[in-house]
């Protein structure tokens, strides 16, 4: 099941004239299997190394991510502080509520913000990128008066 998607990613690379190598295949596998998780490059790297017999370099992961992005299959977003997280374009059916305390990102469906986004695009001559929307705050568990941090 995850294999199907990985194949599509790989195909897209090939179609774009790029080469299909073992590291790339593995990385596509990992990314395809992640579905709507919010993996970071480092996490992809870890899983790829775990999955492959041979070691894979982080730079290769970044370069493959770049390749997949150039083909329009993938996006990376900087939610809140930490590292960037990846999203498959076809899973880009949500936005994020990011907790600045625990860093967790809760997904919110597209429709919730669709009206606002199209309004803003029209009003400000702007083209929103798929998943690149984040509202930062605190989830209830971490609710606190701003400025009263421990």
Phi and psi at residue 107, to the nearest 5°? -80, 145
- Exposed, middle or buried by CB within 10 Å (0-12, 13-18, 19+), for 98? buried
80 binds its own copies (CB under 8 A): yes
Interface characters, 26-65, with its own copies (x: CB under 8 A): ----------------------------------------
Question: Using CA atoms, how far apart are residues 71 and 83, in angstroms rounded to an integer?
Answer: 22
Residue 138 interacting entry, from its own copies, DNA, none, C-beta within 5 to 8 Å by type: its own copies
Residues 101-140: x where in contact with its own copies by CB under 8 A, - otherwise, as a string: -----x-x---xx-xxx-xxx-xxxxxxxx-xxxxxxxxx
- Closest to its own copies by CB, 54 or 81: 81
> Please, what is the minimum distance in Å from the beta carbon of residue 104 to DNA?
15
- Retrieve residue 88's tokens: 């498959």
Nearest to 141 by CA among 95, 106, 94, 91: 106
End-to-end CA distance of the chain: 46
Q: Give the residues lining the site for its own copies (CB under 8 A).
A: 69-73, 77-78, 80-81, 84, 89, 97-100, 106, 108, 112-113, 115-117, 119-121, 123-130, 132-140, 143, 146-149
């Amino acid at each position: 099941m995850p294999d199907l998607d990985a194949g599509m990613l790989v195909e897209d690379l090939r179609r774009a004239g790029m080469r299909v190598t073992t590291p790339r295949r593995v990385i596509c596998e990992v990314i395809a299997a992640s579905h709507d998780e919010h993996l970071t490059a480092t996490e992809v790297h870890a899983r790829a190394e775990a999955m492959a017999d041979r070691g894979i370099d982080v730079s290769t992961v970044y370069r493959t991510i770049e390749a997949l992005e150039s083909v329009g299959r993938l996006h990376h977003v900087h939610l809140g502080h930490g590292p960037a997280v990846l999203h498959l374009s076809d899973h880009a059916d949500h936005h994020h509520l990011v907790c600045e305390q625990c860093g967790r990102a809760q997904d919110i469906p597209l429709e919730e913000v669709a009206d606002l986004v199209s309004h803003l695009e029209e009003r400000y001559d702007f083209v929103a990128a798929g998943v690149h929307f984040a509202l930062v705050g605190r989830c209830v568990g971490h609710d606190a008066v701003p400025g009263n941090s421990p």
